[in-house]
Amino acid sequence: DAKTTQPNSMESNEEEPVHLPCNHSTISGTDYIHWYRQLPSQGPEYVIHGLTSNVNNRMASLAIAEDRKSSTLILHRATLRDAAVYYCILRDVSTGANNLFFGTGTRLTVIP
């Protein structure tokens, strides 16, 4: 699977929007972009995924660049419970394998 690059850490003020960037310049046409997050002392949890179009769900929005070489996870109003490590992951569905490659992610700190 192609690799992703994320900042090691970011800070946000509570109740403000947060934009978490991810670069994936070697993305292939069959790579889906997944985001997971890991709250302290818990296993990772799924946040959102997309292929080409922007996606919204109850947790977040995913904005995908037109050339697909980068994407941004948007939390519309950060809360203290959003403090976590956020992982941007590419998964090539053409391989049939369902394993994910987790990098080291971005640690988000939310300031009250």
Partner 1 sequence: DVKVTQSSRYLVKRTGEKVFLECVQDMDHENMFWYRQDPGLGLRLIYFSYDVKMKEKGDIPEGYSVSREKKERFSLILESASTNQTSMYLCASSAGTGVYEQYFGPGTRLTVT
Q: Which residues bind partner 1 (CB under 8 A)?
A: 32, 34, 36, 41-46, 49, 87, 91, 93, 96-105
Minimum separation from the CB atom of position 16 to partner 1 (A): 27
Minimum separation from the CB atom of position 103 to partner 1 (A): 5
The position carrying tokens 């929007």 is: 17
Give the residue from 5, 12, 1 showing the smallest Cα distance to 69: 5
Q: Hey, CA dihedral for 56, 93, 96, 6, is it positive or negative? A: negative
Nearer to partner 1, 22 or 87 (CB): 87
Nearer to partner 1, 53 or 99 (CB): 99
Phi, psi of 81 (to 5 degrees): -75, -10
Give the residue from 19, 18, 12 showing the smallest Cα distance to 70: 19
Minimum separation from the CB atom of position 102 to partner 1 (A): 4
Nearer to partner 1, 21 or 102 (CB): 102
Nearer to partner 1, 16 or 101 (CB): 101
Phi, psi of 51 (to 5 degrees): -115, -60
